[in-house]
Amino acid sequence: MPKALPRRTVLRAAGASLALPLLDAMTPAFARPAPGSAGDPAAVPRRMVAINVDLGFLPDAFFPTGTGRGYAPSPYLKLLASRREDFTVFSGLSHPEVDGGHSADVSFLTGAPHPISAGFRNTISLDQYAARQIGHRTRFPTLALRVGPGNGSLSYTADGVRIPAEMVPSRVYRQLFVDGSAAEQAAQIRRLREGRSLMDAFDGQIDSLRRKVGGPDRDRLDQYLTAVRDVEKRLEANQAWQARPKPEVDAPEPKDVLDAGALVTRTRTMYDLARLALETDSTRLISVLVTQAFNPKVDLPGVEMPHHALTHQASRDDARGQLETVERAQMTELARLLDGLAEVKEDGERLLDRTMVMQGSNLGNAGRHDNSNLPILLAGGGFRHGQHLAFDRDRNRPLGDLYVSMLQRLGLETDRFATGTTTLPGLEAV
């Protein structure tokens, strides 16, 4: 009889049949040795924050002139001047065959082509791909956040199912740092045990069926049964997490400012929560969608027109000035996030050096609904930064190559993701 596939292959192959959205909503984690101890697979924890600003940035205000380490910073990059040696800016990157203007946000972390075509089905996102191998090391495998109204998210399962992103700061805070009452914890443990009972019953049905078939069908059932056993282990691990108190933080529970126009306040609050989640090692994989799809008027001095409308009227001096005000504010919040990560020390090393922060957009030019030459910036993570890596702006290099570099930095053994088939040249680890 043919041997079952290796465990890692079984998990990938069985993902669709094991309802990954449910698995991701659980909080799986296996007990791990103390950081730095012998046998610890995460002696140096590596983390990732992926941010998509869905209305993008004015290209001539974002991209620098010159290449390599001697580039001249653009007006927006000057806002990050104190962190110049901590980030790399890219030009000439995009996802091949990802079109559709604003609708391309669903493909930003997946690279799935033609998101507005009939029958479009998304693929697994960068954070979820990483979580399948390292997500068990923390209480929360991933954290999907959204700044702005709607139901958008950057995170998708292997089935292409959207993982809901949380936009209410107080709910994120309570999820991360507030333990439920004894009754609530008992109810959660009871639900987990019931889940294990269902798995046991399902296991029995599959095992009975296995004895009645042969050949390729039996082999496929063996693979599926192995995956079911893995779910049982995850349920056990989740049950163990229920017995552990959540980390305590000095920061109070944030106020829920949900006004669509309060872009800066909402962004700052979510970025602060992301930093706290990383600092407490509650998760190592975070996605943040900053969406202005509902076209609010941002409450900044001098801004009189709705954000989306500004992107289409940027050729007018008054509109451009307002748009620059909004985009400068967004870049300033990124700088504040990077400063916060740089100030936190973990085992004597800056948290920023262990955390990749990628900010980009699914739009290269929002006014033209253009999905090429995306504004991409990568900070931290232990790479050699301080440079502008410029690729062909007419025949773009796959953004997936950058994602391969990021996955490898997380410790994953992979040489491809989406349309990426190699690491990005010029981006090297320290």
Cα four-point dihedral sign 392, 398, 402, 405: negative
Which of 249, 263, 246, 250 minimizes the C-alpha distance to 167?
263
* Strand extents, DSSP E, 369-414: 376-380, 387-390, 397-398
CB-CB contact of 155 with 144 (8 Å): yes
d(CA 283, CA 149): 24
CB-CB contact of 347 with 36 (8 Å): yes
* Residues facing 377 on adjacent strands: 89, 359
**358: helix, strand or coil:** strand
* Residues facing 289 on adjacent strands: 52, 146
Residues 6+ apart with CB under 8 A from 310: 303, 319, 322, 323, 326
User: Which single residue is written with the structure tokens 């975070």?
Assistant: 286
Six-digit token pair at 232? 């049982």
pLDDT, position 37: 41
Q: Are strands 355-360 and 376-380 parallel, antiparallel or unpaired?
A: antiparallel
Which of 413, 422, 400, 421 minimizes the C-alpha distance to 94?
400
Residues of the chain under the 70 pLDDT cut: 1-42, 180-208, 210, 215-216, 218-243
pLDDT, position 130: 96
- Which whole-number Å values give the CA distances from 342 to 355, 381, 383, 412, in the listed order? 10, 11, 14, 24
d(CA 392, CA 67): 12
pLDDT, position 25: 33
DSSP 396: P
**167: helix, strand or coil:** coil
DSSP 138: S
* Residues facing 203 on adjacent strands: none
What share of residues in the chain are helix, strand, coil (percent, to 5)?
45, 15, 45
